Amino acid sequence: MPPSLRLARRTILASVVPFSAALASNPETASLLVPGPEMGAQFRWLQRLGAGLGRALPQATALRVLAVGGPDGVTAANRFATEAGPDGQHLLALAPGAAQARLLGDSRARFDPGPWLAVCAVAQPAALIVRSGRARGSPVRVALSRPDSPGACALLALDLMGIESVPVHTSSPEAAYRDGVADAFLASGPNLAAMAEGLGATLAFAAEAGTGRRDPALPDTPTTMEMYPEIAATARSALRAALAACRLRALVVLPSLTPADTLTAFRRAVGRFVDEANVDQPRALAPADAVNLQAQLCPGAEAAMHYREWLLRRFNWRAA
């Protein structure tokens, strides 16, 4: 190649490569798929999260929040799995209902969240609230809405710890507790310690904030793994997955194969909008904690099967 052409080629590459890289790391527009409906409280705070993330990127991105399907998020996750491309223009807010459906083997859940790339997560504490002064020796009556709800894993935790328990099926676990029909229920929210005190109850155990870590919002409440470290690895992963679904409000992800610079741009933007959340909103986790939460939500096939087999033995329940 003549010297003049080589110089021209280097000049063109020097101008084009940085420009294309900038586009790859920071799209001008993007869409965040979230569970519907549009009028719900869940959609409104996801709108705030999406707007904050878009503003926090190096070059502000017009990030549209699109409601897809119902509140369990299965339809939104299915659409993301089939339609999203690795260009930084498509994100998903994975809902706890979708993660739970995948754990249960629900035939509607035609997606695998394991390879997706976590950007951030919105989570809140989850803990088992137990009546103080309850008569010892009798089975713990645990209120839960349905066997397929994340809260059912409270009975799995008690089973693994060798504590006898019986389910109390109800549409409102907290109401069943207040009415004296149940002794305990698994709750999630920002002020669980105050809730327990108001109910004359204690927090028996809490979901881990990270592997082996207590939730910083409940520093005095042990995790199930602390209380019973002898839990076998498969059962431990199954329990962690269900408890993680109890904590989860949304896990924001990009598709697998998204360029590294694009993922980095979005993750760096997370810290810039965290301060926008007020005390009445669930807290946004840092990217590293989001990755850890994703790993808990996506156990191996053996752990998922352990949970499904436990549901069948305990409740004679299996996914459709």
Mean pLDDT value across residues 228-256:
95
Give the pTM.
0.88
pLDDT tens-digit readout, 292-308:
999 999 999 999 999 99
Beta bridge partners of 251: 94, 121
pLDDT tens-digit readout, 69-120:
999 999 999 999 999 999 999 999 999 999 999 999 999 999 999 999 999 9
Q: What is the largest CA-CA distance in the chain?
A: 92
pLDDT tier at 26, thresholds 50, 70, 90: low
Q: Is the pLDDT of residue 185 over 60?
A: yes
Report how far residue 37's alpha carbon sits from residue 144's, in angstroms, rounded to the nearest whole number. 25
Q: Is the pLDDT of residue 14 over 90?
A: no
Q: Is the pLDDT of residue 231 over 50?
A: yes
Q: Is the pLDDT of residue 238 over 50?
A: yes
pLDDT (0 to 100) of residue 4? 44
pLDDT (0 to 100) of residue 25? 67
Dihedral angle of Cα 139, 145, 147, 152, to the nearest 10 degrees? -60
Whether residue 75 contacts residue 278, with contact meaning beta carbons closer than 8 Å, is answered with no
pLDDT tier at 22, thresholds 50, 70, 90: very low
Mean pLDDT value across residues 266-287:
71
Tell me the angle at which helices 96-104 and 233-247 cross, rounded to the nearest 10 degrees: 150
Share of the chain above pLDDT 70, in %: 89
pLDDT tier at 177, thresholds 50, 70, 90: very high
Mean pLDDT value across residues 5-24:
38
pLDDT (0 to 100) of residue 320? 77
Q: Is the pLDDT of residue 183 over 60?
A: yes
Q: Is the pLDDT of residue 15 over 50?
A: no
Taking phi over 0 as left and psi of -120 to 50 as alpha, with beta for the rest, 32 belongs to: beta
More confident residue, 178 or 282: 178
pLDDT (0 to 100) of residue 60? 80
- The total of other beta-carbon atoms located within 10 Å of residue 302's CB is 11
pLDDT tens-digit readout, 52-75:
888 888 888 899 999 999 999 999
| Encoded amino acid at 230, one letter | E
Q: How far is CA 106 from CA 75, 94, 110, in A?
A: 12, 16, 9
Mean pLDDT value across residues 128-132:
96
Report how far residue 281's alpha carbon sits from residue 277's, in angstroms, rounded to the nearest whole number. 6
Alpha helices in 187-259 (DSSP H): 192-198, 224-227, 233-247
pLDDT tier at 274, thresholds 50, 70, 90: low
Q: Is the pLDDT of residue 219 over 90?
A: yes
Average pLDDT, the chain: 88
Report how far residue 109's alpha carbon sits from residue 36's, in angstroms, rounded to the nearest whole number. 16
Report how far residue 320's alpha carbon sits from residue 315's, in angstroms, rounded to the nearest whole number. 14
Report how far residue 307's alpha carbon sits from residue 319's, in angstroms, rounded to the nearest whole number. 11
